[in-house]
Structure 1
Amino acid sequence: MFVARSIAADHKDLIHDVSYDFHGRRMATCSSDQSVKVWDKSDNGEWHCTASWKTHSGSVWRVTWAHPEFGQVLASCSFDRTAAVWEEIVGESNDKQRGLSHWIKRTTLVDSRTSVTDVKFAPKHMGLVLATCSADGVVRIYEAPDVMNLSQWSLQHEISCKLSCSCISWNPSSSRAHPPMIAVGSDDNNVTYSGKVQIYEYNENTRKYAKAETLMTVTDPVHDIAFAPNLGRSFHVLAIATKDVRIFKLIPLRRENATSSGPTKFEVQVMAQFDSHNSQVWRVSWNITSTLLASSGDDGCVRLWKANYMDNWKCTGILRGDGSPVNGSSGQGTALSAVGSAGAQSQNSVVGAASAGRKKAQLMPG
């Protein structure tokens, strides 16, 4: 049974993204009010806002946590054409700051000429690496060479995707058999351009990212994309939020020539496709074991999807934007919703109800 809890987020405009930290005990929200808020979960399960600050000079589209191995670090991106990296500092001086934490900006990434639409930290085995994507169709990958000095970031790669980019997802697999891989979604409205999802793979020989696959069957604008956590699988699973929810399986094909230096070729299979939202789907998010997928859409509902032992996916729960469960109905609503990334320990999913009259974050412990 899934239970939802409502949080009065007190953002003054639409909430665009909600993100959990690795342990699922902290949460960050961002909004068109140009601010980011950090929330901490108390022992009794209540969420309390512990920090709120103005981050950008435009709408903040996304916020994301680095792995705690690198400290308490957030990245945000905005319509103001920048991405920013923030670090939480605990005051050590003798004044009022002692023991109190505050977030300071470590760097501003200003390479994009247009709105920066998504920002994601790479899996921790790659080091402290950050990817951004922009409406100018470029994915930029930055690295902090010294994890003790987060004010220094170097631009390592620029990947030109030809279409405006709306969302990115790193492949979380740490297997040596799988080179670093990033999926990119486009919200380009032109349906004559098929293949709104592209997969890029890092090539050790050329030290560049090359396109490995284009999902040609995705022709509608893509709003979110998420690789499933990989717990030793040989294949990859990718969820896509477009006008419906789609789950793809990417099976690496064995190379005929072991010395081939080109990108991996994949057999692409559609595992599931659901139009139950009957509207645009805005966010997809996996739990840590990749057994449960949450999606949210313009119908104001969060839907939970699970596969049985036959690998057939079915809806296992529906929650309205106000947190009430839906019994056998699709539930009508107008909220734009944002499902945040699942907390590693708690397997939470979260919904930010981003309608002008509804400025609350909805929480669903699983």
Structure 2
Amino acid sequence: MYITSLKTYMQRVDERPRLLVKIETSEGISGWGECYNHGPDLALPPLLDYLFHQIEGEDPRRVEYLILKLNQQCRFPPGALGLAAISAIDHALWDIAGKAAGLPVYMLLGGNVRDRVKVYCGVYTAPDPEYARDQTLQLHEDYGYTAFKISPYRRDLHKGRWGELVRETGDYFGRIREITPSEFEFAFDAHAKIFEPYQAIQLAAAIASHDPLFYEEPIRPEHIPAWSELKSKINVPLATGESLYSRFEFLALLNARGADIIQPDICVVGGMTEMRRIATLAEAHYVTVAPHNPMGPLATAVNIHFCAAQPNFKILEFKPHVHAPWAVDPYMPVDGHMELRPDRPGWGIEIDEACLQKDDYVHWERKITRKPDGSTAYP
């Protein structure tokens, strides 16, 4: 068996662009993968065309060899776009390997260590407590969710006194705790909007007494010593990692004791192959993995196989999609978990390629926050 072609399909999931990749082989077995769209979406297809020539004619089942080849042919370490492209290729190769063997991918990873995968729902905003109660109760009724992620910001954090926002956040979480079932878990995603670490420490203190599931990415990821200091001064589980790329960056974070939970993205770090290396490093540091997954149904399928086989997995991010017509039979939560599909080889999801022929691309840009004085801030 050898690789014959690579196709790209720029599509959307709900209102965000998503790029799907299909690799075809001489035996008629094909595999699918998904890129993370970091921003310059239209730069990815030509990059993938370039990378295809590095693997054309190769045996797709040699996943480790081919991913090493793609990384090592780069003179400099691949960055955001390069690793996103390699991630999709890696996914597609694993899918082919599973289909060729007649096995789910997780069986190629040593088999499943759990029978199902726990998920939480990203709400992402900070709705009024009563609306949050109704929304989470509905999600619980529909899918069995007991874990959710919301924002700690009830308003623009650059307007008004910071201490007032901290107080409001504490009161907000306290009210949510009062009116929602006690078994519900709530995480807070601060979206790296805080520049000064002491403010992140103050915000953590405001939510600590109400037992958050985790406190995600309050500050930027670049300066690892700041994460070490932050973790040493807060009393809530600290999570980060969606903006880190390689095992080397995660190793620096772990060695600095900078997180309780890491959140690598399997569509960012280089795919399943690199994701497993990162997770093993975390396991050796007594750190769990909660994959970043605001993606489409295909990326969710890839994540489920990773989570099924990874011992130190904690919980997977998943928000039900409204628009992804190319996913014929997406994984959906049952009782707050994703069920495995042991009778389906590869990723266990069917892609309607005919549906992908329709141009469904949507342009999206991250909005830049402006402070009251006109200067820019992290969004």
TM-score by length of 1: 0.26
TM-score by length of 2: 0.25
Higher strand proportion: 1
Higher helix proportion: 2
Which structure carries more relative contact order (alpha carbon 8 Å, separation 6+)? 2
The structure number with the bigger radius of gyration is: 2
